[in-house]
Amino acid sequence: MGELKVFMLIGDPVEGSLSPAMMNAAFRALKLNYIYVAVRVPQKLLESAITGARKIGIAGLNVTIPHKIAVMKFLDGLDESASLAGAVNTIKNSRGKLLGFNTDGEGALRNLEERIGRVRGRKVLLLGAGGAARAIAFSLLCAGAELTIANRTLARAEELAALIEKKLGKKLKIISMDPNKLKKAIADAEVLINATSVGMRPKVNETLVTADMMHRNLIVYDIVYKPLRTRLLREAGKAGAMTIDGLGMLVRQGALALEIWTGRRAPIKVMEAAARREIGDVIG
């Protein structure tokens, strides 16, 4: 089976992640002598973790909250996907050189378009301006969507809007998370995407948008997958809106990472089945 290679998820927290089950199932299906583990890395230890991964020859890493932006300064180079998004969720160790990629945006876009068709010309309201939101924003705009971003900290949304205009030459609207402004923006939107961690376990009763703010022609996509049926999606159901959970994005961004590391086509069905089996034990 060849030399054992180790791959790692780093973040804080990483408990309950579906990625190890999903990735290890994929490695077995491809008959690769690889192993994938999740390691909690607090922010103050991020640089040490990256230095250690380089020194001991970790073959590749996934990066999750809260390190997707901060990790960039410890890498040797960035793929266009990461450079555009200004965030990294995948790292490849190429003979001691750590190269950063971003598969979040493409993973979310593929999953969304599988469910609703092309996003070109569709009005999308994106909640958040962090690492995942950045990547999704770039992918949506490159695919032709009309984008509005809502964020609690307007300065961060303005920074993202300026970055997008500089790199893509595209303008987008930004608004605050004020409920009245959100409701007005949602009334005009076709797709609502939550790219924040609001509603993630253990704070499962939190949501930025409630049923009275939505309409039945809305498509509501939550990238949170712990739990699968978030409060936002339950509220969307009450409003009669179509709902899409975060598992599809998780699987597709993971599949893209695997293809970067191995050069092999990812067994998506195997990965999704493994993630769904793990949900019964981990998320319930």
pLDDT per residue as tens digits for the range 234-260: 999 999 999 999 999 999 999 999 999
Q: What is the CATH number of the domain that holds 153?
A: 3.40.50.720
* 210 or 279: which leads in pLDDT: 210
Instruction: Return d(Cα 181, Cα 170) in angstroms, integer.
Output: 22
- Token reading at 231: 């409060």
161 & 236 share domain? yes
233 & 261 share domain? no
274 & 151 share domain? no
Instruction: Return d(Cα 210, Cα 183) in angstroms, integer.
Output: 9
- The per-residue pLDDT for 102 is 96
111 & 201 share domain? yes
98 & 115 share domain? no
Q: What is the pLDDT of residues 157-191, one digit of tens each?
A: 999 999 999 999 998 999 999 999 999 999 999 99
236 & 138 share domain? yes
* Cis peptide leading into residue 20 (ω within 30°): no
Q: 149 with 174: CB under 8 angstroms?
A: yes
> pLDDT class for 282, splitting at 50, 70, 90?
very low
Mean pLDDT, range 143-155, rounded to an integer: 95
Percentage of the chain lying above the pLDDT 70 cut = 98
Mean pLDDT score of the chain? 94
- The per-residue pLDDT for 195 is 96
Mean pLDDT, range 133-162, rounded to an integer: 94
117 & 235 share domain? yes
Q: 208 with 127: CB under 8 angstroms?
A: yes
> pLDDT class for 276, splitting at 50, 70, 90?
very high
197 & 156 share domain? yes
Mean pLDDT, range 123-129, rounded to an integer: 97
- The per-residue pLDDT for 171 is 87
Count of domains forming the chain = 2
- The per-residue pLDDT for 283 is 42
Q: 142 with 119: CB under 8 angstroms?
A: no
- The per-residue pLDDT for 1 is 58
- pLDDT greater than 80 at residue 95: yes
Residue 93 structural domain: 5-102+248-282
Q: What is the pLDDT of residues 218-236, one digit of tens each?
A: 999 999 998 999 999 999 9
Decide if 68 is catalytic. Answer: yes
> pLDDT class for 261, splitting at 50, 70, 90?
very high
Of 5, 31, 55, 68, catalytic:
68
153 & 240 share domain? yes
